[in-house]
Amino acid sequence: MPLIIGVPRETFSGETRVATVPEVVQKLKKQGYQVVVEAGAGALANIGDDGYREAGAEVLASAREVWSKADIIFKLRRPDADEINLLKDGGTLVSYIWPAQNPQLMEQLAAKKVTVLAMDSVPRISRAQKMDALSSQANIAGYRAVIEAANAFGRFFTGQITAAGKVPPAKVFVIGAGVAGLAAIGTAANLGAIVRANDTRKEVADQIVSMGGEFVPVNYEEDGAGTGGYAKVMSEGFQQAQRETFAQQAKEVDIIITTALIPGKPAPKLITADMVKSMKPGSVIVDLAAEQGGNCELTVPGEVAVAHGVTIVGYKDLPCRLAKTASTLYATNLFRLSEDLIKTKSVEPESDAGKAAIHLNMEDEVVRCTTVINQGEVTWPPPPPKLSAAPAAAPKAAVPAPAAHGHGPSTSVSSPTRVAVMFAVAAALFGLIGYGAPSDFLGHFTVFVLGCFIGYMVVWNVTPALHTPLMSVTNAISSIIVIGALIQVAPPLSADITRPEMLIKGMAAVAIALTAINMFGGFAVTRRMLEMFRKN
């Protein structure tokens, strides 16, 4: 009997998203799951019940039916008290949980002997990117933040010069260059604004520039990179220098978008009331950290406030304002997680007449971090993430032991001696070959040996990662080959041409053709690579 995935309607006030969409239901069905959806679950995301039915899901009239029938519940918001009562013992819940902020919720869920996978606890490693719901929703929040700023701002983002007058471009300052910050930078730059950004992690400076922004550094040497891709709490000296930088930017820019959050901690206050007061009238602040208290001292979570002529947008539901797109991305994250769950699905004869059961592989880093409760046992927090090992230090060269006194000389030959012997042998062979060869053979043979040496040093002896940048060098060598081949082909064919001359001309023609392909192909590849790094 297949496992049943249940998708109830979200009851949290203002929540418009839904945990799955018809396109993903079809994929879940192909994996062997059955899907049941509460009637009206997708209404606020413009997804009707008929769409779910056509995709193969069963639409049930009430939430109680969904919770009682489903083996696995897909949700967005953490469950409230009524939903916890509906969750059947031994079931599985996949949702946002925020275990650090909700210890009481963890106790209630553990008492139900359920298994809970927290989408907010997916580790931020390359292998888990497809399940990273925080990033997928933060991307939407960053985009929507710019749209809200444009709505509240009384001017174009892009500069214009018209017959009616000149409009300067808007200046946008983004604090924090995580997923949301980078999305905001890209969106504002695409709208034509002058974008500046700051982040405590130095390695994101190139990412800011690649998205069309300008990195604004803080005049203080300290790296803010923490574990798991997040920033860490900075020292008081850095924070003071940071405040000075932000105060200067507040006087210059028209829009500030703040995204600074540290997991498990209240949002840091980065924009003070004095900074807001120094901004130009009509300026806008969009605080993406409003749900955790806000990065601005004057933010009113969930509302739009006006202080000193500055509009401060403190919405806590930015992804919900793009409900269908946000639901689709979140549903895809859940589907990718279900792919890992299906790998551990097995049939137990003693359980529910052979109903499939899920056994989580707690040795898998992604599953281990995501699972906060396993069959009633609290497994959060997970062990520290496995960081990439530092490159091993190069082993010291072994020092050959000196020959014991009175036991004769050492049998090992030193490196300079070995090289001298090799050169002596090569010179002897070269002399023997030249002694019996035609007079002009020696010159050709020398060119051949040098050509082999150059080819070895330029291509064969170079790490594959550098082959493409070496296109310019290999093209230069190809040019030399083409010139030599043209010289061989250039003289007109005479009536008494010999067979060797005909062979040489044929080989030269083939060399021209092959080398031309290499040259033009190399230039084409190099041009395509450069286009990847060129701003449109």
Assess whether 135 carries a catalytic annotation: yes
The one catalytic residue in 34, 95, 121, 135 is 135
Ranges assigned E (strand) in 156-201: 160-162, 165-167, 171-175, 194-198
**Regarding beta strands 371-374 and 115-118, do their DSSP bridges make them parallel or antiparallel, or are they unpaired?**
antiparallel
Contact 365, 102 (CB under 8 A): no
Pair of tokens at residue 162? 């018209």
Contact 276, 283 (CB under 8 A): no
d(Cα 120, Cα 20) in Å, to the nearest integer?
Answer: 17
- Measured from the Cβ of residue 31, the count of other Cβ atoms closer than 10 Å reads 15
d(Cα 315, Cα 145) in Å, to the nearest integer?
Answer: 9
d(Cα 20, Cα 7) in Å, to the nearest integer?
Answer: 7
Q: How far is CA 304 from CA 35, 148, 284, 285, 445, in A?
A: 39, 10, 10, 10, 82
Assess whether 338 carries a catalytic annotation: no
The one catalytic residue in 132, 254, 287, 317 is 132
Could you identify the residue written with the tokens 């695409």? 190
40: left (phi over 0), alpha (psi -120 to 50) or beta: left
In sequence order, the 6+-apart residues with CB closer than 8 A to the CB of 452 are none
The one catalytic residue in 26, 155, 230, 239 is 230
Contact 196, 177 (CB under 8 A): no
The one catalytic residue in 31, 129, 239, 278 is 129
Kindly state the helix (H) or strand (E) to which residue 104 belongs, with its residue range.
helix 103-111
Q: How far is CA 217 from CA 33, 249, 268, in A?
A: 50, 11, 18
Assess whether 242 carries a catalytic annotation: no
Kindly state the helix (H) or strand (E) to which residue 38 belongs, with its residue range.
strand 34-38
Q: Let me know how many helices (H) and strands (E) the chain has, helices first.
A: 16, 19
The one catalytic residue in 53, 77, 124, 243 is 124
| Helix orientation angle between 441-455 and 415-436, rounded to the nearest 10 degrees | 140
What are the catalytic residues? 124, 129, 132, 135, 230
